[in-house]
């Protein structure tokens, strides 16, 4: 829904460009329930301005600090132009009139932040208290440090009353009071686990792999594809697809497949599955020598290679075919290299491999060699990268990306 009025030229925050803004409001309802109200930028894609609003209706919305009462809160501030996540200076107003003011990065509170006023100050990293804090309550001032959202190190409390100053020093180790100062200094960089599903955990360092031009860690790939596989089992119970993720394939073929011998270790579950042939197709996503992701698909006694950077295809096919030869299948395994779009850089192989896996699920009733693998690059790959962020942040209702 959008209200249209006259255009007006205004200066961008960095004073480096002039862009047109439609004086009115664009309302965006996200699948998670959050509502954005923002001006319509008509020309270039500059970051959205401070006048943007975000009505937070989603329980457990990741970018909002966990210790802040965010139920039906309103965020006012900058939003990232691509992710619609809080970015830059902003404030959160809760329905209880509590106000959180500070800096945001990647959607999370980052740096110095105040609650209500300057009497309460915390430093945040990835939405967790991390670093020095200062709190004033009447005539008492407390200073100290947090580490990964836990009080850690020296905490000093100074009370002034009737011209008498009382100083009290305490020590904490991961939120537990101790007699002596902890050995490690609390200013070290925080590590926070942001997302968890089954045995997979994604921390802030892995999450940064979803930034543009970064190489995606294999745990991110396995995390997302596990969600896809669980979803597909429910939606298509009669068309079983079995996925061997990067971790399992590494256990089978070793992490340096080009140097490995034919002696491979096949889990019993996978042996039984292949011998029974109880699947529509078997997908293997492989991190070749810890430097390049490829997708292989086994169907109707044929092993297909889908590689976004054609090199060592025959070697990889030969190595992976040992998986089936070791099981003494009666028929000779056919090996084929399919023509798929090639990546235009050295860091998008994970996204291309994910895309080729998704096509197997989407086209479950189509033979592997008859699927249309053409893709508008790099636009769709860039969209897929952003889609993964949306899925992880729990603000997207579709696990599989939908292209217009």
32 upstream amide cis, omega within 30 of 0? no
Domain-embedded: residue 109:
no
Please give the average per-residue pLDDT across 396-402, as a whole number.
80
Coil, helix or strand at residue 379: helix
Asked whether residue 122 falls in the same domain as residue 71, the answer is no
Tell me the average pLDDT across 309-313: 84
Answer whether residue 8 shows pLDDT above 50: no
Which percentage of the chain shows pLDDT scores above 70? 83
Using CB atoms within 10 Å of the CB of residue 292, give its burial: 0 to 12 exposed, 13 to 18 middle, 19+ buried. Answer: buried
Which strands make up the sheet holding 241-244, listed edge to edge? 241-244, 281-288, 292-299, 302-306, 334-337
Residue 187: pLDDT band by 50, 70, 90 thresholds?
Answer: low
145-160 tens-digit pLDDT: 999 889 999 999 999 8
| Residue 13 pLDDT | 41
Contact yes or no for 339/306 (Cβ under 8 A): no
Q: Is the pLDDT of residue 330 over 70?
A: no
Q: Tokens in use for 340?
A: 């798929």
d(CA 254, CA 264): 8
| Nearest-10 Cα torsion for 42, 48, 54, 59 | 110
Residues 231 and 208 in one domain: yes
Q: Determine, yes or no, domain membership for 236.
A: yes
Which residue range(s) make up the domain with 184?
116-190
- Residue 290 CA to residue 259 CA, distance in Å, equals 12
Question: Do the strands 86-93 and 73-79 form a parallel or antiparallel pair, or are they unpaired?
Answer: antiparallel
pLDDT at 52: 81
pLDDT mean across residues, the chain: 82
**Selection from 181, 189, 170 nearest residue 130 by Cα:** 189
What pairs with residue 10 in β-bridges?
A: 19
Residues 155 and 213 in one domain: no
Q: Domain boundary at 143, 173, 190, which?
A: 190
Identify whether residues 136 and 30 lie together within a single domain: no
Q: Do 138 and 198 lie in a common domain?
A: no
Q: Which of 89, 88, 55 is nearest to 72 (CA)?
A: 55
Q: What is the number of structural domains in the chain?
A: 3
Report the length, in residues, of the chain: 404
Q: Which residues pair with 145 in a beta bridge?
A: 132
Picking from 58, 62, 52, the residue whose alpha carbon sits closest to that of residue 73 is 58
Residue 38 covered by a domain: yes
142 domain residue, yes or no: yes
Same domain for 336 and 200? Answer: yes
Task: Mention every residue, 6+ apart, whose C-beta is less than 8 A from residue 341.
Answer: 308, 352, 373, 374, 375, 377
Establish if 403 belongs to a structural domain: no
Q: Do 34 and 154 belong together in one domain? A: no
| CA angle centred on 230, ends 229 and 235, rounded to 5° | 95
**Burial of 328 (C-beta count, 10 Å sphere; 0-12/13-18/19+):** exposed
Residue 99 has, within 13 A of its CA and on its CB side, a CA count of 10
400 part of a folded domain: no
Per-residue confidence (pLDDT) for residue 186, from 0 to 100: 58
pLDDT at position 284, please? 96
> Residue 332: inside a domain, yes or no?
yes
Res 18: pLDDT: 47
Same domain assignment for residues 227 and 312? yes
- Are 51 and 140 contained in the same domain? no
Whether 111 is covered by a domain: the verdict is no
pLDDT grade for 25, boundaries at 50, 70 and 90? low
Question: How far is Cα 301 from Cα 397, in angstroms, rounded to an integer?
Answer: 36
- CATH code assigned at 209: 3.40.395.10
Mean of pLDDT values over 339-360: 94
Separation CA 135–CA 142 (nearest Å): 5
CA distance 190 to 253: 34
Q: What is the mean pLDDT of residues 261-266?
A: 72
Give the pLDDT of residue 259: 74
Of 133-142, 154-163, 226-235, 268-277, the range with the lowest mean pLDDT is 268-277
pLDDT band at 217 (very low <50, low <70, confident <90, very high): very high
Locate 4 and state its tokens: 């249209």
Mean pLDDT to the nearest integer, 73-99: 81
Domain boundary among 161, 190, 219: 190
370: nearest Cα among 279, 277, 302: 302
Of 174, 190, 206, the one marking the end of a domain is: 190
How high is the pLDDT of residue 275?
Answer: 77
Mean pLDDT of 239-244: 90
Pair (81, 21) in one structural domain: yes
pLDDT digits (tens, 9 = 90+) for 47-78: 445 568 888 887 777 777 766 655 678 888 88
The most confident of the ranges 17-31, 56-70, 256-270 is: 256-270
pLDDT at 221 over 60: yes
**Does 124 share its domain with 261?**
no
Q: Residue 19 has what pLDDT?
A: 44
Regarding predicted confidence, which is higher, 384 or 237?
A: 384
Tell whether 199 and 61 lie within a shared domain: no
pLDDT(104) > 80 = yes
Span of 5-14, 42-51, 156-165, 295-304 with lowest mean pLDDT: 5-14
* Calpha distance 133→155 (Å, rounded): 9
| DSSP3 helix / strand / coil % (the chain, rounded to 5) | 20, 35, 40
> How far is the CA of 39 from the CAs of 1, 90, 104, in angstroms?
12, 16, 20
Please check the confidence at residue 41 and state whether its pLDDT lies above 90. no
* Whether pLDDT at 389 is above 90: no
Comparison of pLDDT for 8 and 116, the residue scoring more: 116
């Amino acid at each position: 829904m959008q209200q249209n009025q006259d255009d007006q030229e205004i200066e961008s925050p960095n004073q480096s460009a002039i862009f047109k803004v439609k004086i009115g409001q664009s309302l965006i309802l996200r699948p998670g329930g959050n509502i954005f109200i923002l001006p319509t930028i008509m020309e270039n894609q500059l970051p959205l301005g401070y006048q943007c609003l975000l009505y937070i209706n989603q329980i457990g919305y990741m970018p909002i600090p966990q210790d802040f009462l965010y139920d039906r809160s309103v965020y006012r501030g900058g939003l990232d132009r691509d992710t619609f996540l809080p970015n830059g200076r902003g404030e959160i107003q809760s329905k209880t009139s509590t106000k959180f003011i500070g800096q945001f990065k990647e959607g999370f509170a980052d740096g110095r932040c105040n609650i209500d006023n300057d009497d309460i100050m915390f430093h945040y990293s990835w939405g967790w208290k991390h670093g020095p804090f200062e709190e004033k309550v009447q005539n008492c001032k407390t200073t100290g440090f947090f580490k990964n959202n836990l009080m850690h190190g020296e905490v000093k409390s100074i009370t002034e009353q009737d011209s008498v100053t009382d100083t009290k020093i305490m020590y904490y180790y991961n939120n537990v009071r101790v007699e002596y100062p902890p050995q490690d200094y609390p200013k070290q960089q925080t590590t926070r686990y942001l997302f968890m599903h089954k045995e997979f955990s994604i921390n802030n360092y892995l999450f940064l792999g979803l930034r543009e031009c970064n190489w995606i860690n294999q745990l991110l790939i396995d995390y997302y594809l596990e969600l896809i596989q669980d979803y597909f089992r429910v939606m298509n119970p009669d068309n079983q697809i079995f996925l061997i993720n990067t971790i399992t394939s590494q256990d089978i073929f070793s992490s340096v497949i080009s140097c490995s011998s034919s002696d491979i270790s096949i889990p019993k579950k996978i042996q039984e599955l292949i011998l029974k042939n109880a699947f529509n197709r078997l997908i293997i996503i492989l991190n070749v020598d810890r430097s390049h992701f490829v997708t292989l698909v086994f169907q109707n006694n044929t092993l297909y290679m889908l590689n976004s950077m054609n090199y060592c295809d025959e070697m990889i096919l030969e190595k992976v075919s040992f998986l089936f030869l070791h099981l003494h299948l009666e028929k000779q395994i056919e090996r084929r290299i399919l023509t798929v779009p090639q990546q235009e850089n050295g860091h998008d192989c994970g996204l291309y491999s994910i895309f080729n896996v998704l096509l197997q699920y989407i086209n479950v009733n189509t033979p592997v060699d008859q699927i249309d693998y053409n893709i508008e690059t790099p636009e769709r790959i860039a969209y897929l990268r952003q889609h993964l962020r949306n899925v992880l942040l729990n603000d997207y209702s579709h696990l599989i990306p939908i292209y217009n």
